[in-house]
Structure 1
Amino acid sequence: MISSLRLLNFKAFENQLVEFKSLTLLSGYNSTGKSSVLQALSLLHQSHQQSLLQNTGLLLNGNLVNIGTANDALYENAKEDYVGFELILKNETKGIWHFNYNSLEREANFLESGFNSVDADVYQSSIFNGQLYHLQSERAKVASGILNYQRRELRQIGALGEYTAHFLYTYGGQPIPIAELAHPEAKSINLIDQVEAWMGEISSGLRIQVNAHLDMDLVNLKFSDHVGYGITYVLPIIVAILASNPGALILIEHPETGLHPQAQTKLGKL
């Protein structure tokens, strides 16, 4: 579990320490860097996922997050030409990564490794070796989707929730990993029934049906009632929470968007 993350010369931050608990809420005005904190964790994860982080560098655009160019990553008034992250875990192990910024390659989508100092156990932690879901503030329509490598091989629902339909088709019949999250009135402990039960807390009586058209590699979700934006927005959040293994890291931007305050309270209980 993460104890703290320091951001150095990254986007809006020259030197910012962020401390974490099992549930951490970031609030503040627009454009103050809340999303940048989540992006930093996803950048580290996706770079490690592609076997780049240890010796090569930082992948700025990948399956979890896209932040643009090297120039976009660097703090505007940086006094030194590097972007840095310092991660401390609850067991006091630490990882420090500095990535060099080259002014001649401002438009690059990659930052090369500079100084690294990483304890051996860090890469075995859940942020690198476990599940990580990062749901961005935008959402794709989740009613249907095409089979995709990220969904099948990496158990991802997509940064926009775009693989949610196929995720439910593939894993919906499996028990949720954390039994304590089970809804007491669900039909079973399986993911699809648990998702339906928790979605019913937000929209009473809601039912979800997963329909597959394998000849076209297409899966779509059918809801019992006409649903609004808030329901389709929150569905990937509930799927990510219920599908996560113990120790998984779930990063959610604007989880309350489109939800009635009472529905926000229900989501908070989960």
Structure 2
Amino acid sequence: MIDQLSLTNFKAFRSADIPLAPVTLLTGLNSSGKSSVLQAFVLLRQSYDSSTLFSSGGGLLLNGELVELGTGLDVLHEDVVHTPGLPTPLISIGLRTSEGQNFNWSALYAAEQDVLTLHSASDAQRTKSVFDRRRFQYLKADRIAPATSYPKSHHQAIGLGFLGASGEHTVNYLRHHARRPLTSKPLRHPKAQTNNFLDHVVAWMQELCPGVNLEATEIPGIDAVRLSYGFDGTAGLTSSARRRPTNVGFGLTYALPIVVACLSAGPGSLILLENPEAHLHPRGQSRMATLMAAAAAAGAQLIVETHSDHVLNGLRLAVKNGAMSATDTAVHYFRRRGLQAEIVTPRIHEDGSLSDWPEGFFDEWENSLEQLLD
């Protein structure tokens, strides 16, 4: 597990050491630094996958399939830390694991370049364990929208087990693994009809929308797959009356990649999530946190950017109910102090309470209520 991320001269951070846990929530106002944390991980992953991270004369690839950060000018912090003896600043990303291993990549700033040349880097052989291709998922905020079909990529969905940054390979992954047994006990849903992967996906999706079921099927003759929903009699529909995602709404389709990512996670997996609450009602947002706690109990590490107090409270309830330990959680509240991102870290206690409640930290409900009662 990665227990600390260190950033220097990277976007919102002049210099920061950010503790991480099996489940880490990144909260705060817009443009306060939350996305920069996820982007640091994704930047390393993108550079590794493109073989630039370890190659001779390689560097950090700012623009690729996972993330597009622009040029060096776009990622350099405004109030830079200078390194003596170097004509340009270094942009650095460091990782520390729970086993005490330290990894660091420092790249030379170049304003107009989108591949920043490495000045120093950890040994390639030693760091490959951090970048296991089959134990990484990144789902950004703009995930797959309801559509009549989705791509069928054997290499991504089956070969690598990667759902795609937008979750575009989720349906094909689900189609292929539908009948595979779910072996991880913490992830099994007690109401699943069988121990097949698809039935557990359906059971967890029913936490978000009671009565829903789904099917993922191949479209003959073309490289595409189809997703359909049924509702077991809810609202007058039967499970045989299949509905296209375009006739159901955004919430279920947006949530599906997150459910599949969590249920497919195993020991050592790293899951990066942006706004898992998007298009979900409050109950669904809270249940999503329950699923994230289950994935952590199965050995995965999740780093989650969220604006939802329901996700936070769902995590607190998971701790209170014994689904996970308080020490396996970290909550970071990001706020701006001039040019620098400031991080406040309230702790979750074993009873689900918080050690403190910083100003601006999910307090809008109370602020609005005070105004209504005034």
Normalised to the residue count of structure 2, the TM-score between the two structures is: 0.67
Check 1:199–1:189 CA distance in 2 against 1; reply closer, same or farther (3 A cut). Answer: same
1:193 CA drift (Å): 1.2
**What secondary structure does 1:198 align onto?**
helix
Between the aligned partners of 2:185 and 2:108, the Cα distance in structure 1 is: 44
Aligned residue type for 1:135: L
Q: 2:139 aligns with which of 135, 142, 148?
A: 135
- Partner of residue 259, structure 2: 238
- Partner of residue 99, structure 1: 107
Mapping for residues 174-213 of structure 1, pairs under 5 Å: 174-213=180-219
List runs of 5+ in structure 1 lacking aligned partners: none
Aligned residue type for 1:17: D
**What secondary structure does 1:46 align onto?**
helix
What do the CA deviations read for 1:38-89 (whole angstroms, capped 9, x no partner)?
1111111222223321242112223332222222222233244221011100
Between the aligned partners of 2:127 and 2:45, the Cα distance in structure 1 is: 12
**How many pairs does the alignment contain?**
266
Check 1:139–1:129 CA distance in 2 against 1; reply closer, same or farther (3 A cut). Answer: closer
Between the aligned partners of 1:102 and 1:185, the Cα distance in structure 2 is: 55
Check 1:75–1:205 CA distance in 2 against 1; reply closer, same or farther (3 A cut). Answer: same
Do structure 1's residue 18 and structure 2's residue 22 form an aligned pair? no
Percent identity, aligned pairs only, is 37
Preserved contact between residue 142 and residue 163 of structure 1 (Cα < 8 Å): no
Preserved contact between residue 177 and residue 242 of structure 1 (Cα < 8 Å): no
Residue range with higher mean Cα deviation, 193-202 or 64-73? 64-73
Do structure 1's residue 229 and structure 2's residue 250 form an aligned pair? yes
**What secondary structure does 2:262 align onto?**
helix
Residue range with higher mean Cα deviation, 219-228 or 61-70? 61-70
Q: 1:217 aligns with which of 217, 223, 232?
A: 223
What do the CA deviations read for 1:116-156 (whole angstroms, capped 9, x no partner)?
2459644323x445511111111122542122343343211
Preserved contact between residue 87 and residue 95 of structure 1 (Cα < 8 Å): yes
Q: 1:164 aligns with which of 148, 163, 170?
A: 170
**What secondary structure does 1:250 align onto?**
strand
1:32 CA drift (Å): 0.8
- Partner of residue 260, structure 1: 281
What do the CA deviations read for 1:185-214 (whole angstroms, capped 9, x no partner)?
112222211111100111011010112113
Preserved contact between residue 142 and residue 164 of structure 1 (Cα < 8 Å): no
Preserved contact between residue 178 and residue 246 of structure 1 (Cα < 8 Å): no
Normalised to the residue count of structure 1, the TM-score between the two structures is: 0.91
Preserved contact between residue 11 and residue 74 of structure 2 (Cα < 8 Å): yes
**What secondary structure does 1:167 align onto?**
helix
Between the aligned partners of 1:119 and 1:211, the Cα distance in structure 2 is: 41
Aligned residue type for 2:116: L
**What secondary structure does 2:221 align onto?**
helix
Answer 1 or 2: higher relative contact order, Cα 8 Å, separation at least 6.
Answer: 2
Aligned residue type for 1:7: L
Do structure 1's residue 76 and structure 2's residue 78 form an aligned pair? yes
List runs of 5+ in structure 2 lacking aligned partners: 83-88, 232-246, 292-374
Preserved contact between residue 96 and residue 118 of structure 1 (Cα < 8 Å): no
